[in-house]
Structure 1
Amino acid sequence: MDQMKKLLTVCLLLMISSQMYGQEKIVKGSLFEGIVVAGYADHGAYINCTGPALKYTFAPKSCLLVGLLPSLKLKEDKVDPGKPKNSWITPSLGFGLTAVFRHIAIQLPAFYTAKTSAADGKWRLGVGMGYKF
């Protein structure tokens, strides 16, 4: 939960800083940026692209995005024999921060793991690297 508070604080600071630049359009909405990322989260891998986001441009070819991350999570369940297993590939929607420098993207996503009979639901942080087309 502390990570979510930190992430929301960064979002708030980005919005406040955008008010300082009166005439310049530095923060704007974005539906798709053409960024594909692969990374690690919750003892498995993920592949995603950036979805709807707030985009903060701080240099000609550098930006910071905060938004939704439509993803495919790749994780094999470890369950007892005879019990049903989940699919190895699962569609998921994450939320996170993506920094882009020229064509290299670094991402800090958060994915929510639903509550089960064995564990409580929690936000899981990850890390990833990708490419902007």
Structure 2
Amino acid sequence: MDLAHMADVPEARRARHLAHAVRRPLLERAHLPEEFFAPLMAAAVHDPDPSFCRWFVEPAVHAFGRRRVMTALLDYLRTGTHAEQAGAQPAWYCAHVPLYADRSPAYAPDGRRDPALDEFRDVRDEWQETLQRSAVQPGHTET
């Protein structure tokens, strides 16, 4: 990882520079330590650039499974702050990243992966129900 020049990076760009430095090593590992999961999810929902949150979501999907990532994002949608709820939506979209055996060591040598890691139909249904319940009703204004 190229973190030697972090002090030279302007404060506003440090998080992005750090993400660039760690993304490839994260994607190249078949497993990530458990303590990486929550920070990756938090970084994904807090990143102000909707397209950049994929840099945090993709390694989490590969290492922890699409189901777990989507469940965490559903939790943000249900219980997060307004900013976290808004950030969970582009992260949810990014969680649909395609998984390819030749791009990730998270697959067994035979190119397989436990399908339970990526089964998400029920979580998708809960996501849609939560969005419908939380939608602002016509005529409703927030104060």
Sort the TM-score into its range (normalised by shorter chain): under 0.3
With normalisation by structure 1, the TM-score equals: 0.24
Q: Give the structure-2-normalised TM-score.
A: 0.23
Higher fraction of strand = 1
Structure with higher helix content: 2
